[in-house]
């Protein structure tokens, strides 16, 4: 079944080369019980590791059932270790944080046979540990732990059982029990290759190979038993197994990898919590920062809506007289007729003149000083000021200089409290006005409360209340946003003509594009949101580095576990996927907790501090995606470190 020819193996120990095996040739038939003896450093363990596919020789030929092992790829070797071989180690090498049953199930996981759980239980019962299946290794004696290791080695029905000093850490009574178990397994037809330094253990085998200085010193049969040369039947059995391995899709399922990763995470709760903490803080910061940015953006958008759309605002300019800047309107004066002239332009949809002043409002025994604004009836539609309660004044009321008023929300709160103001008479600078409507709330804009205002017909404001002959500004709504530049040029020509300005004279008026102001504010808000998100993303990056650091420490800490997993059939791909899933799971769990915290902080800022916040689905998706990406990126290196470990070196790690 097994054939070695001229095997050599040399280890590099610093600057010194140590030859562990020197020209070793050996054949072992199916059903044999072989004991390999020798002093420390004789090469017996190295020979066992090569036989068990845990290590590779530097030169020579190693064949199983006529198949040359040197041509096998990593995945094929892993499957062979899982199906052909079973391993029992001196140190037991059980996973400390899982039960005896789960330890025995582990080879089934990497064989893709987790559903055969009852098989693991049966093997435990065969070694007399059925009642102890739920106990962890630290709750078992040394002999019981070794029996668990034997059950694990047998769960996939291997052809060969490799035992490395299986009784080295046991007392004489337990040693006898383990030897009897091995003899029983051999009688069932399982080939056993055992390394031991104890003569009384070796004589229980059917064949003893003695080694010294990397060479076979003697090879003798001490008991009669199955032939020690491979028969045709044995060769065919191994050959059939090899064909089955090559054609099968054996390997752990994705669900099993996830289960193993979750178990590793929850087995080391503090370490996992500290790993997730960086991601949690980062995601919390991203969600909270973006919520603040989005809230501010939405708040500004609502305020900008009050400016109207496709608007151009015309206001009088000023000039310098003897180097002294004069006030706005000192040169150019606009009239209602100017507004009518602008309305005749083909690009213009409607216009609205405006005058402003201060007024003392009085209702019963209450009074309030506020901004009085005179406008035309078109102002309501142009400036998103159509009352939700009551109505706006009409063109007829503008022409007749009617004493009607529309109140802002702040004025209503200070004068009327819970009383309905519609139809009530109020005094503005001692003149009676009738309340016909309440303006929609617009909130505070900088230091100015946009709701602390009352609007009256412009003619009433100019000729009855404020005593003005000229308007302060003219709002012009353009029919289409694509006509803004054309309309601006046409308006400039009309105003210059009506102001009788010479061709080479500078404009003494201003035309402001409200759409450009909106775009500038929105662009600024977007930039601030992105900046806040970028700053918060740095926290995620730091959290990712923390994940990588913890995972690297975890790989080092779990070196023996990695060696064990490889010994029982885990391939490099299995370990790469498992450690990568661990990293991603920690980042995702940390991200989910961060999303909850971020949402809570955003809501708290909104309720307690009164700040505008908005947690958007986009910010949640971005944070989640980024945390997964960080888990993948920063988990790859530790995962690769784990997958590339040599099983023998990993098992020997201290």
- Give residue 431's pLDDT: 94
Confidence of residue 432 (pLDDT cuts 50, 70, 90): very high
Judge whether residue 407 has pLDDT over 90: yes
Output the pLDDT for position 321. Answer: 42
Q: Which residues contact 243 (CB under 8 A, 6 or more apart)?
A: none
**More confident: 300 or 473:** 473
Residue 176 has pLDDT above 60, yes or no: yes
Using 50, 70 and 90 to split pLDDT, how confident is the model at 328? Answer: very low
**Of 231-245, 274-288, 377-391, 448-462, the least confident:** 231-245
Q: How many CB atoms lie within 10 A of CB 423?
A: 9
Q: 3-state DSSP call for residue 455?
A: strand
Q: Compare 481 and 187 and report the one with higher pLDDT.
A: 187
What pLDDT score does 518 carry? Answer: 61
Q: For residue 170, is pLDDT > 90? A: no
Q: What percentage of the chain reaches a pLDDT higher than 90?
A: 25
Report residue 39: phi and psi, to 5°.
-70, 170
pLDDT score recorded for residue 378: 92
Q: Which of 26-30, 415-419, 514-518, 574-578 has the lowest mean pLDDT?
A: 514-518
Residue 304: count of CB within 10 angstroms of its CB = 20
Confidence band for 401, pLDDT divided at 50, 70 and 90? very high
- Averaging pLDDT over each range in 146-155, 302-311, 354-363, 599-608, which range is the top one? 354-363
pTM: 0.62
Residue linked to tokens 């080369």: 17
Taking residues 571-575, report their average pLDDT: 83
Q: What is the pLDDT of residue 444?
A: 64
- Mean of pLDDT over the chain: 82
pLDDT over threshold 60, residue 333: yes
Share above pLDDT 70 across residues of the chain, in percent, rounded to a whole number: 87
Among 15-19, 424-428, 487-491, which range has the highest average pLDDT? 424-428
List the structure tokens of 492: 């400039």
Residue 605's pLDDT is 79
Q: Which residues contact 248 (CB under 8 A, 6 or more apart)?
A: 79
Q: Is the pLDDT of residue 8 over 80?
A: yes
Find the range with the poorest average confidence among 458-472, 547-561, 584-598. Answer: 547-561
Structure confidence at residue 610 as a pLDDT band (50, 70, 90):
low
Into which CATH architecture does domain 29-58+74-226 fall? 3-Layer(aba) Sandwich (3.40)
Whether 471 has a pLDDT exceeding 90, the answer reads yes
- pLDDT value of position 169: 75
Query: With bands split at pLDDT 50, 70 and 90, how would you rate the model's confidence at 236?
Result: very low
DSSP alpha helices (H): ranges in 360-502? 379-382, 395-399, 409-415, 458-460, 484-498
User: For 250-278, what is each residue's pLDDT tens digit?
Assistant: 556 777 778 878 887 887 788 788 778 87
Tokens encoding 231: 């028969």
Q: What are the phi and psi torsion angles at 35 (to 5°)?
A: -110, 130
Higher-pLDDT residue of 142, 513? 142
Other CB atoms within 10 A of residue 227 CB: 11
Q: Which residues contact 107 (CB under 8 A, 6 or more apart)?
A: 82, 86, 152, 153, 155, 156, 568, 569
Q: Is residue 223 predicted with pLDDT exceeding 80?
A: no
Each residue of 308-322: pLDDT tens digit? 567 888 888 754 444
Please, is 13 exposed, middle or buried when counting C-beta atoms within 10 Å of its C-beta (0-12, 13-18, 19+)?
exposed
Residue with tokens 């309309």: 487
pLDDT given at position 256:
77
For 616-640, give the DSSP string: -HHHHHHHHHHHHHHHHHHHHHHHH
Q: Which has the minimum average pLDDT: 176-185, 461-470, 627-636?
A: 627-636
Task: Give CA–CA dist 354/108, Å, rounded.
Answer: 84
- CA atoms of 531 and 449, how far apart (whole Å): 28
Kindly tell me if the per-residue pLDDT of 416 is higher than 70.
yes
Residue 249 has pLDDT above 60, yes or no: no
- pLDDT score at 434: 96
The answer, yes or no, to whether residue 289 has pLDDT greater than 80, is no
Task: Name the band, by pLDDT with cuts 50, 70 and 90, for residue 370.
Answer: very high
| Residues 61-73 pLDDT 10s | 998 888 888 888 8
| pLDDT value at 515 more than 70 | no
Confidence of residue 441 (pLDDT cuts 50, 70, 90): confident
DSSP 543: H
Domain with CATH 3.40.50.300 in the chain: 29-58+74-226
86-90, 339-343, 418-422: segment of lowest average pLDDT: 86-90
Place of tokens 């000093």: 165
When pLDDT is averaged across residues 208-232 and rounded to a whole number, the result is 73
């Amino acid at each position: 079944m097994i054939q070695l020819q001229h095997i050599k193996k040399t280890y590099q120990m610093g600057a010194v080369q140590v030859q562990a095996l020197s020209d070793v040739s050996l054949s072992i038939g199916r059903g044999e019980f072989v004991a390999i003896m020798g002093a420390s450093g004789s090469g017996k363990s190295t020979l066992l590791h090569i036989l068990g596919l845990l290590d590779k020789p530097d030169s020579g030929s190693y064949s199983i059932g006529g198949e040359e092992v040197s041509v096998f790829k990593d995945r094929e070797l892993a499957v062979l270790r899982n199906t052909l071989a079973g391993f029992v180690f001196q140190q037991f090498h059980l996973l400390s944080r899982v039960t005896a049953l789960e330890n025995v199930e582990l080879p089934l996981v990497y064989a893709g046979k987790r559903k055969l759980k009852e098989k693991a239980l049966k093997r435990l019962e065969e070694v007399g540990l059925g009642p102890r299946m739920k106990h962890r290794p630290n709750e078992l004696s040394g002999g019981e732990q070794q029996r668990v290791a034997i059950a694990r080695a047998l769960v996939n029905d291997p052809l060969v059982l490799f035992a490395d000093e299986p009784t080295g850490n046991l007392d004489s009574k337990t040693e006898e029990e383990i030897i009897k178990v091995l003899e029983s397994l051999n009688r069932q037809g399982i080939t056993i290759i055992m390394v031991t330094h104890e003569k009384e253990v070796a004589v229980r085998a059917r064949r003893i190979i003695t080694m010294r200085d990397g060479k076979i010193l003697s090879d003798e049969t001490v008991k009669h038993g199955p032939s020690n040369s491979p028969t045709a039947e044995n060769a065919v059995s191994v050959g059939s197994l090899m064909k089955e391995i090559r054609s099968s899709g054996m390997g752990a399922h994705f669900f099993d990898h996830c289960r193993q990763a979750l178990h590793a995470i929850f087995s080391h709760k503090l370490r996992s919590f500290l790993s997730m903490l960086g991601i949690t803080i980062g995601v919390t910061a991203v969600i909270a920062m973006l919520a603040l940015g989005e809230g501010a953006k939405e708040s500004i958008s609502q305020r900008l809506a009050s400016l109207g759309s496709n608007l151009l605002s015309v206001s009088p300019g000023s000039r310098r007289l003897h180097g002294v800047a004069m006030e706005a309107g000192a040169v150019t004066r606009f009239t209602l007729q100017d507004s009518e002239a602008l309305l005749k332009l083909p690009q213009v949809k409607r216009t609205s003149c405006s005058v402003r002043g201060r007024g003392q409002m009085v209702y019963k025994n209450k009074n309030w000083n506020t901004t009085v604004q005179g406008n035309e009836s078109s102002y309501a539609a142009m400036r998103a000021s159509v009352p939700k309660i009551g109505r706006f004044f009409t063109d007829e009321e503008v022409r007749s200089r009617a004493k009607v008023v529309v109140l802002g929300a702040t004025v209503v709160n200070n004068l009327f409290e819970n009383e309905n103001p519609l139809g009530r008479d109020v005094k503005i600078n001692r003149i009676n006005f009738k309340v016909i409507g309440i303006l929609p709330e617009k909130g505070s804009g900088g230091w100015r409360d946009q709701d602390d205002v009352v609007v009256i017909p412009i003619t009433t404001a100019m000729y009855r209340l404020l005593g003005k002959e000229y308007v302060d500004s003219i709002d012009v709504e353009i029919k289409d946003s694509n006509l803004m530049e054309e309309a601006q040029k046409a308006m400039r020509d009309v105003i210059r003509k009506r102001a009788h300005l010479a061709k080479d004279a500078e404009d003494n008026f201003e035309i402001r594009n409200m759409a450009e102001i909106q775009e500038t504010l929105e662009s600024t808000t977007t930039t601030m949101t992105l900046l806040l998100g970028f700053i918060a993303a740095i926290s995620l990056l730091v959290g990712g580095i923390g994940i990588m650091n913890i995972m690297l420490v975890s790989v080092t800490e779990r070196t023996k576990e990695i060696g064990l997993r490889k010994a029982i059939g885990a391939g490099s791909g299995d370990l790469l996927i498992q450690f990568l899933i661990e990293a991603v799971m920690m980042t995702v769990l940390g991200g989910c907790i961060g999303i909850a915290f971020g949402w809570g902080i955003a809501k708290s800022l909104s309720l307690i501090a009164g700040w505008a916040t908005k947690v958007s689905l986009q910010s949640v998706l971005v944070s989640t995606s980024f945390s997964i990406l960080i888990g993948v990126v920063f988990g790859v290196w530790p995962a690769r470190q784990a997958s590339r470990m040599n099983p023998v070196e990993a098992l020997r790690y201290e």
